Amino acid sequence: MTSTSEPRDIRTELEQLTTEAFRPELADIDRLSTLDLATLMNREDSGVPGAVARALPAIAAAIDAIAARMARGGRLIYAGAGTAGRLGVLDASECPPTFNTDPAQVVGLIAGGPGAMVTSVEGAEDSPQLARADLDALALTGDDTVVGISASGRTPYALGAVAHARALGALTVGLACNPHSALAAAAEHGIEVVVGPELLTGSTRLKAGTAQKLVLNMLSTITMIRLGKTYGNLMVDVRASNEKLRARSRRIVALATGAADDEIEAALAATDGEVKNAVLTLLAGVDGPTAARLLEESRGHLRAALAAAPH
């Protein structure tokens, strides 16, 4: 019997999605022991990295395009609803402490606004108009990138964000977990990580959510590597905003330079605690102002600054 609150055409759409498929073989999982359930769930999750691997060429192409825009001063903006939106906000919020980015440089938009992070906002995901308004509030430019995130690949908020961003000349990426999705088709760079039906029918916070998190990790992390935010695998742009991060800063300088503790403390003091600058002063034998100038001239790339330093 069709619910009066759920139009038949939407039900038909959902029934055709891989992420929404019902798995009869799992119909009795509530009878399993807790250990058997945990084992089953772990086995389900183990297939996610392989699904991501199959999408790596599309992911890499998107990253190169994002990095090129961000190198010109553009922003990375995630847009999604529900779990997808929360994952985007999470990834964006972790960029300032990890890479010392301005909070406005990587932005997460969730349908319904910040309150939707903890409480469902009914109907917000169904509004492409809301997505357009959220992007207009950011004064989108052609150097920006908008990544629409939706497990189904049909969420109106994500689709509206990508369509509006593309019309304004921004780069667009569509991340979905179903093949032949409307979201991937609407974006310049479509990424489809097909993880298959969920353990709980339609609960896309599970495998689909894990896949989205893995891809967002790649989009932000590798983009930041391309932008010179790391030196090898060291987070030389880390922001020392608490005692743990201050200790990590000293350790990073030590790993990069092999310098003694007193030299590291002196270098950090001479560079106002900037790890990348401190590493440069130690490796190139320059003072703090010279390190700052070399890094500015090299657009923040430590290896380039080292190559340009006087020998």
Q: How far is Cα 65 from Cα 70, in angstroms, rounded to an integer?
A: 9
Superfamily classification of domain 48-226: Glucose-6-phosphate isomerase like protein; domain 1 (3.40.50.10490)
> How many CB atoms within 10 Å of residue 67?
19
- Residue ranges matching CATH 1.10.8.1080 in the chain: 243-308
The per-residue pLDDT for range 132-146, each reduced to its tens digit, is 999 999 999 999 999
Q: Over pLDDT 70: what percentage of the chain?
A: 94
Q: Tokens 């959220």 — which residue?
A: 134
Q: Return the amino acid letter for 144.
A: D
**CATH number of the domain at 243-308, out of 3.40.50.300, 1.10.8.1080, 3.30.70.360, 1.20.120.450?**
1.10.8.1080
The per-residue pLDDT for range 244-302, each reduced to its tens digit, is 878 999 999 999 999 999 999 999 999 988 999 999 999 999 999 999 999 999 999 99
| Cα 187 versus chain centre, distance | 17
> How many CB atoms within 10 Å of residue 269?
11
Q: Which of 89, 81, 181 is nearest to 131 (CA)?
A: 81
Q: Kindly list the catalytic residues.
A: 94, 125
Q: Which of 92, 74, 61 is nearest to 190 (CA)?
A: 61
The per-residue pLDDT for range 49-73, each reduced to its tens digit, is 999 999 999 999 999 999 999 999 9
Q: Tokens 């990590």 — which residue?
A: 248
Q: How much is the CA Rg of the chain, to the nearest whole Å?
A: 22
pLDDT for 97? 87
**β 145-150/171-176 pair status:** parallel
For the entire predicted model, the pTM comes to 0.89
- Residue ranges matching CATH 3.40.50.10490 in the chain: 48-226
User: ∠275-59-200 over CA atoms, to 5°?
Assistant: 105
| Beta-bridge partners for 23 | none
- HEC-encoded secondary structure of the chain: CCCCCCCHHHHHHHHCCHHHCCCHHHCCHHHCCHHHHHHHHHHHHCCHHHHHHHCHHHHHHHHHHHHHHHHCCCCEEEEECHHHHHHHHHHHHHHHHHHCCCCCCEEEEECCCHHHHCCCCCCHHHCHHHHHHHHHCCCCCCCCEEEEEECCCCCHHHHHHHHHHHHCCCEEEEEECCCCCHHHHHCCEEEECCCCCCCCCCCCCCHHHHHHHHHHHHHHHHHHHHCCCCECCECCCCCCCCHHHHHHHHHHHHHHHCCCHHHHHHHHHHCCCCHHHHHHHHHHCCCHHHHHHHHHHCCCCHHHHHHHCCC
Q: Do the Cβ atoms of 212 and 86 come closer than 8 Å?
A: no
The per-residue pLDDT for range 84-129, each reduced to its tens digit, is 999 999 999 999 988 989 999 999 999 998 888 888 776 777 789 9
Q: Is the pLDDT of residue 7 over 80?
A: no
